[in-house]
């Protein structure tokens, strides 16, 4: 395995990497960094949690160092990401390695004061990390000039396609300066990605370190066949199997996520939620509490699938299976990060059998069955919106364990082997 010194990085960056405890590049970093430093357009494909941010971030920092201060309202490099959480995560990672330099990393996202962002951009930015929607708002106000930007990075480009940001990209890209270097990074390879690369990259080098749609090697996956009405009890059974473990629970809708979180809190669990109806401040506080472990259960919609980089997440629970199969890959990528192990648990109701088969087709695997049986009959898919039963507390039900049947593997599942302890907090006396 190469080390960072062989990749052509300058001594200041090598020092910052060492201080951050990073000595050996990940496969995507080892392949992408030399190409990016040479000026080539890069199309990088790698699973989540493999260090894609530094694969483009380190070359950007090195190439921008010593280029002088940006003029008012101008930008030298633009990084686009689909969610607020991911924008903040990218900026935080870049700032670790711009300490001691004059480079300024700025962010613009929705849900925050646009007037403050206008004032911030008056001073210009070396690297601007942005969500497409808010960036266009600022462009419409004449608050930012992209004509001086010579670097463009599209991070998690597949999710930007899923979220409809292709139209925003068509508006933004022509405003950047030319010639420019463009880098595109993604964990999956939907059919539109080739079209995207042809439109915005110039003779790109494709760097792929894992097959698109493949999960991290240390993620243990399992599926429980359980009807929607029985999911609350099954979730509590999983939570009680390892009290205190950081657990990220994915729901399909905003209302379903909020209802599920409130049901857990009513039953004495420490839980928080993040979704599109939450303000940026609320989302930031929930993620901070989850990161610190003071709130070990975080219920989220897919807004969090690519914006949480917390190595200690032990469980990812797909309470509702995603409508887009690639989203499953990103969800479970929130565990088994930084070389750790993790467990991805999926609940599949009779309405979701078609979604499960879509996921297995994309991942080219058959997810091991931990309990229940595959529902008979034609494959079904839930209607958009997730139905009325999003997952509140189980109305007077006791958790019901299900013995493996049919296609279930021999022996108990990983979660079943853990001691059955209670994961509840004592309520304070009134």
Q: pLDDT confidence of 293, banded at 50, 70, 90?
A: very high
Domains 4-208 and 219-417 share a fold: yes
Fold classification of 219-417 is Rossmann fold (3.40.50)
- pLDDT above 90 (res 338): no
In our burial notation (b when 16+ CB lie closer than 10 A, e otherwise), range 196-208 reads bbeebbeebbebe
> Is the pLDDT confidence value at 415 over 60?
no
**pLDDT tens column, 295-330:** 999 999 987 656 667 778 889 999 999 988 888 888
Average pLDDT in the chain: 84
Please indicate, yes or no, whether the overall pTM of this predicted structure exceeds 0.75. Answer: no
Report how far residue 368's alpha carbon sits from residue 122's, in angstroms, rounded to the nearest whole number.
54
* CA torsion, ordered 265, 342, 307, 321, to nearest 10 deg: -70
Scored b (16 or more CB within 10 A) or e, 242-259 reads: bbebbbbbbbbbbbbbbb
Q: Would you say residue 114 has pLDDT above 60?
A: yes
How many angstroms separate the CA atoms of 386 and 394, rounded? 17
Structural domain spans, the chain: 4-208, 219-417
Question: Phi then psi for 32, rounded to 5 degrees?
Answer: -85, -35
- Do β-strands 297-300 and 271-274 pair in parallel, antiparallel, or remain unpaired? parallel
pLDDT in tens, 90-110: 999 999 999 989 999 999 998
pLDDT on residue 108:
97
Q: What is the DSSP string of 67-130?
A: S-PPPTTBEEEEEE-SSHHHHHHHHHHHHHHHTTSS--EEEE-TTS-HHHHHHHHTT-EEEEEE
Q: Please, what's the b/e burial string for 165-179 (b: 16 or more CB within 10 A of its CB; e: otherwise)? A: bbebbeebbeebbee
> Are 83 and 287 within 8 A, CB to CB?
no
Q: Does 410 have pLDDT greater than 80?
A: no
Architecture of domain 4-208 in CATH? 3-Layer(aba) Sandwich (3.40)
Q: Which residue has the tokens 């462009």?
A: 139
The pLDDT assigned to 325 comes to 86
Cβ contact 399:234 at 8 Å = yes
């Amino acid at each position: 395995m190469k080390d960072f010194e062989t990749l052509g990085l300058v001594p200041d960056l090598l020092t910052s990497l060492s201080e951050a405890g990073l000595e050996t590049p990940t496969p995507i970093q080892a392949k992408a960094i030399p190409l990016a430093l040479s000026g080539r357009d890069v199309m990088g494909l790698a699973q989540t949690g493999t260090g894609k941010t530094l694969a483009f971030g380190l070359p950007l920092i090195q190439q921008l160092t010593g280029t002088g201060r940006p003029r008012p309202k101008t930008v030298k490099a633009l990084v686009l990401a689909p969610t607020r959480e991911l924008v903040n995560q990218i900026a935080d990672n870049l700032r670790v390695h711009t300490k001691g330099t004059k480079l300024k990393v700025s962010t613009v996202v929705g849900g925050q004061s646009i007037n403050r962002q206008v004032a911030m951009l008056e001073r210009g930015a070396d690297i601007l990390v942005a969500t497409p929607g808010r960036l266009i708002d600022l462009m419409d106000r004449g608050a930012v000039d992209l004509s001086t930007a010579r670097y463009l990075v599209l991070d998690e480009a597949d999710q930007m396609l899923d979220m409809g940001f292709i139209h925003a990209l068509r508006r933004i890209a022509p405003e950047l300066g030319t010639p420019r270097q463009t880098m595109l990074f993604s964990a999956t390879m939907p059919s539109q990605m080739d079209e995207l690369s042809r439109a915005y990259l110039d003779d790109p080098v494709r760097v792929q370190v894992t097959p698109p749609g493949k999960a991290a090697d240390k993620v243990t996956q399992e599926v429980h066949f359980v009807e929607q009405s029985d999911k609350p009890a099954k979730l509590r059974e999983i939570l009680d199997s390892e009290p205190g473990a950081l657990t990220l629970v994915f729901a399909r809708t905003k209302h379903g996520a909020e209802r599920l979180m409130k049901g857990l809190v009513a039953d004495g669990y420490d839980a928080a939620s993040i979704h599109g109806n939450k303000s940026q401040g609320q989302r930031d506080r929930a993620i901070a509490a989850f990161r610190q472990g003071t709130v070990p259960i975080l219920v989220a919609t897919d807004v969090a699938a690519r914006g949480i980089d917390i190595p200690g997440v032990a469980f990812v629970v797909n309470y509702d299976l995603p409508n887009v199969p690639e989203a499953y890959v990103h969800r479970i990528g929130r565990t088994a990060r930084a070389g750790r192990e993790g467990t991805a648990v999926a609940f599949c109701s009779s309405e979701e059998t078609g979604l499960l088969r879509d996921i297995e087709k994309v991942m080219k695997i058959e997810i091991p069955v931990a309990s229940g049986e595959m529902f008979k009959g034609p494959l079904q898919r839930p209607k958009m919106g997730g139905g009325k039963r999003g997952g509140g507390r189980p109305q007077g039900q006791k958790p019901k364990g299900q013995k493996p049947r049919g296609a279930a593997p021999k022996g108990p599942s990983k979660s079943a082997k853990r001691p059955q302890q209670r994961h509840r907090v004592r309520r304070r006396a009134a």
